[in-house]
Amino acid sequence: MMLEKIVEQYGVEEVVAKTKISKKNLEKLMKGDFSGMTRPQAYGFLKILQREFGESEFDDLKSQLDAWFLQAESEHNQEIFIASETPKEIKAKRWIVIALGLVVVLTAFYLAQKEFIGPPEQAQQAMEKSDVLDSLPVKSIEKESSQVETEAPKKEGSVPPPLDAGDSLESSAARMQNVVEENTSQPYVPLENAVITPHVKLWLGVIDLKTKKRSAKVTDSPYEIDSKGKRVIVTGHGRFEISDAFGNLFKFNDAKKHYFLIDDGMVKEIDFSEFKRLTGGKGW
């Protein structure tokens, strides 16, 4: 396998430094053990190795990846097929359900007839009560119904608490703004050897917050995120996903602009206002 020869030639530490692939994942790639790796993550590692050491050097590794994920997909489909029921079993269960339903309906009908019809004396009493109700004036019935409606309890609505006498509109607005910011803040997520994998051609912009240096590119190939330092990454209107060596996988299918803050191995998504604050009020 050419990967083993490259590691023997350059040494593990130098290969790790050039590719940013962790030593653990590099050893798994050399052994052909891709368990625990998602498809985008594994092929992202392959793209990085091809970029650094030549595409033709890793044909064997690509073949192993193709075979591995093809077998995994086949086993998954086989499990689904085995677990599925045959048409005869489905048809038999359907008839059982229909029979049980008929039994329940007939039982309910019998009990209802027995309860409401009853002996002839009860039926006669029911008819006499019905005649009395029919003889009552319509207005009296409407009056009784209106009384019942007025006596019904009113639902308590959620009333916002009143402002304190000493509070001004500005202080109240400030408190509301703090609540909104607390609810919309996003937590940091640790990433290692993170890769952006576009599903279509994607515009990417990077701003180094220390040097203020900017770079941009359009690509449909996996893009490795440099997690060192402090920088902002902006994406264009395209579908993509982010994966890393920890097994994290984040999918973005809304075709909107996204802004990410990278801070020494930690990443979180930010909004446009936070992006402008970090870049000194400048857009892209």
pLDDT in tens, 176-217: 444 444 444 567 677 777 889 999 999 999 999 999 999 999
In a 3-state reduction of DSSP, which class is residue 54?
A: coil
User: What's residue 114's pLDDT?
Assistant: 67
CA contacts within 13 A on the Cβ side of 77 = 6
Of the two residues 156 and 257, the one the predictor is more confident about is: 257
Residue 280: left (phi > 0), alpha (psi -120 to 50), or beta? left
Q: In the predicted model, is pLDDT for residue 167 greater than 80?
A: no
Rg (CA), the chain: 35
Residue whose token pair is 């030593």: 23
Of the two residues 203 and 157, the one the predictor is more confident about is: 203
Of the two residues 75 and 115, the one the predictor is more confident about is: 75
Which residues, other chains included, contact 120 with Cβ-Cβ below 8 Å and sequence gap of 6+? none
Which tokens belong to 55? 């595409």
User: What's the pTM?
Assistant: 0.39
Where do runs of H (alpha helix) occur along 185-271?
A: none
Which tokens belong to 80? 């689904």
Which tokens belong to 22? 């962790």
Q: In the predicted model, is pLDDT for residue 260 greater than 90?
A: yes
Which tokens belong to 206? 């990077």
Q: What is the mean pLDDT of residues 165-176?
A: 47
Q: In the predicted model, is pLDDT for residue 175 greater than 60?
A: no
Going by pLDDT thresholds of 50, 70 and 90, the confidence category of residue 112 is: confident
User: What's residue 173's pLDDT?
Assistant: 47
Which residues, other chains included, contact 192 with Cβ-Cβ below 8 Å and sequence gap of 6+? 22, 227, 244, 245, 246, 265
Give percent of the chain above pLDDT 70: 70
User: What's residue 153's pLDDT?
Assistant: 44
Query: Which has the minimum average pLDDT: 10-19, 158-167, 256-265?
Result: 158-167
Alpha-carbon span 13 to 17, nearest angstrom: 6
Alpha-carbon span 135 to 181, nearest angstrom: 67
| H or E stretch at 218 | strand 214-219
Going by pLDDT thresholds of 50, 70 and 90, the confidence category of residue 265 is: confident
Return mean pLDDT, the chain. Answer: 76
Q: What is the mean pLDDT of residues 249-272?
A: 90
In tens, the pLDDT along 66-84 reads 999 888 888 777 655 545 5
Which tokens belong to 220? 């449909």
Alpha-carbon span 212 to 230, nearest angstrom: 10
Going by pLDDT thresholds of 50, 70 and 90, the confidence category of residue 278 is: very high
User: What's residue 269's pLDDT?
Assistant: 93
